[in-house]
């Protein structure tokens, strides 16, 4: 199963340099709306079977063109909603950097709990659980491997990617998820494979719906015969393509 983690397009809060959090009514700006339209060109040709999104407006707007193009009705899941930043919500980033908690968020995010909000460890737990659950559901519905999209938020994506990499949450600030970027994870019975992180290119053309082949006709493989390597195993010696 392969998930495309799509961050919402640029929002009015992004350009105002405020922490939107779960504030209602935060929409995409002009650039964000353009990014939402180009999502169709970037990933719309892939065999996407389902779309799951955060309940917030900026995610709804981001996936709307893709959902229409594919004829899919997005599933809304609260577990991939934005971080509940509590009392930090709506405040200017320039003010927040002066707070003692800011240093904790940067250096030890696993210990960061926002005042009147939630902790980043809680965010990771709920988001990873959601992705894993949708993976299992879609595997049953589509009899095996399938490609799907989860439209969510920057810190949520970073937390999911960190988990897939086996990286401690305290290192998740090393990961970047820009507006309208995609990060791709393929889950197997043995381990996740992180295929893309913060991809902002024009088109995602990799064959993402199926596990990579152990051999390739153009000679770019590593010499292993097709079928020799189980799909949940990494090929010793490096990438096959």
Amino acid 145: pLDDT: 82
- Distance between CA 82 and CA 119 in Å, rounded? 12
Band the pLDDT of 189: cuts 50, 70, 90.
confident
Binned at pLDDT 50, 70 and 90, residue 154 comes out as very high
Residue 219 pLDDT greater than 50, yes or no: no
pTM of the entire structure? 0.86
What's the topology of domain 2-199? Rossmann fold (3.40.50)
- How far is 42 from 55, CA to CA, in rounded Å? 23
Residue-by-residue DSSP string for 159-206: HHHHHHHT--GGGGGG----TT-EEEEEE-SS-EEEEEEEE-SS---S
Other CB atoms within 10 A of residue 14 CB: 20
Residue 36 has pLDDT above 60, yes or no: yes
Of residues 67 and 189, the one with the higher pLDDT is: 67
d(CA 38, CA 55): 21
Q: How far is CA 4 from the centre of its chain?
A: 6
Q: Which residue has the higher pLDDT, 240 or 149?
A: 149
Per-residue pLDDT at 130 exceeds 90? yes
Residue from 33, 26, 84, 86 nearest 57 by CA:
26
Q: What is the pLDDT of residue 216?
A: 43
Phi, psi at 51, each rounded to 5°: -130, 130
Domain ranges of the chain: 2-199, 214-241
Residues recorded for the chain: 241
Q: Is the pLDDT of residue 239 over 90?
A: no
């Amino acid at each position: 199963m392969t998930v495309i983690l799509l961050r919402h397009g640029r929002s009015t809060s992004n350009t105002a340099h405020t922490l939107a959090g779960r504030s209602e009514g935060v929409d995409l700006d002009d650039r964000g709306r353009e990014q939402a339209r180009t999502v169709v060109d970037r990933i719309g040709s892939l065999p996407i079977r389902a779309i799951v999104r955060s309940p917030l407006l900026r995610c709804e707007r981001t996936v709307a063109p893709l959902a229409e193009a594919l004829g899919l009705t997005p599933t809304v899941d609260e577990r991939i909603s934005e971080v509940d930043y509590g009392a930090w919500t709506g405040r200017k980033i320039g003010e927040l950097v002066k707070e003692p908690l800011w240093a904790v968020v940067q250096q030890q995010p696993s210990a960061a709990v926002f005042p009147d909000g939630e902790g980043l460890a809680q965010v990771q737990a709920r988001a990873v659980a959601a992705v894993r659950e949708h993976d299992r559901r879609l595997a049953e519905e589509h009899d095996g491997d399938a490609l799907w999209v989860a439209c969510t938020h920057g810190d949520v994506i970073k937390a999911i990617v960190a988990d897939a990499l086996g990286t401690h949450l305290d290192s998740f600030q090393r990961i970047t998820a820009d507006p309208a970027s995609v990060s791709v994870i393929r889950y197997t019975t043995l381990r996740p494979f992180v295929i893309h992180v913060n991809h902002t290119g024009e088109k995602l053309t990799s064959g993402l719906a199926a596990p990579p082949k152990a051999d390739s006709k153009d000679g770019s493989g590593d010499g292993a015969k097709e079928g020799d390597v189980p799909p949940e195993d990494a090929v010793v010696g490096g990438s096959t393509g």
